[in-house]
Amino acid sequence: MSIASKPLSMNAILQRDFEGDFFREALDLVHHAAAVSRIFWPPGSKNKQSRQRAMRRGQFLRDMLRFEHGHPIQDRTLRDHFEHFDERLDAWAEESPNRNIVQSLIGPRSAIGGDAIKDADIIRHYDPSTKMLGFRGEKFDVQALASGLDDIYQKATARLNEIEANKRLKPTPQNGAV
């Protein structure tokens, strides 16, 4: 499945019942979004020259596609939670008073009650009514993430079409220019 079709897949899952593995699709979406994010908002590099080149590239692309600050794809926190799951699990083991853990909850938070389970004990939680994906109590808008990827795809496609149209308008020896 291409990156361009991933938002469509997630949007379809978000708008119907949960056939298939929702969390697998969500993790794919998060990883695709992080990969795209690194193109437009490069992470720091140890090499100063590489870092500066990457920052120029990111700024150029953001300017060319007219991105506003705070684009939903810019934040990679959710991806970091999944990527560094071992560290998050270590923190949970140290912090959880009752050591109860909920791995994958789909539904309202109220579906699991009692004082023995805290929000930080719920590793993955998706509430279809709010379209929020939770990780240890932090909430992330996966609809905004899917829509953000679609926004980038639409803007990039429009810009490429504009560039192609401008190429055809330039005079060349083949179309009669001297």
* Neighbouring C-alpha atoms within 13 Å toward the C-beta of 14: 22
Q: Is the pLDDT of residue 157 over 90?
A: yes
Contacts of 117-125 spanning 24+ positions with Cβ under 8 A: 120/92, 120/95, 120/96, 121/92, 121/96, 123/88, 123/92, 124/23
Q: Is the pLDDT of residue 156 over 90?
A: yes
pTM of the predicted model, to two decimals? 0.75
Say if residues 112 and 122 touch (Cβ distance below 8 Å).
Answer: yes
Q: Is the pLDDT of residue 122 over 80?
A: yes
Residue with more model confidence, 58 or 20: 58
In tens, the pLDDT along 80-105 reads 998 999 999 999 999 999 999 998 89
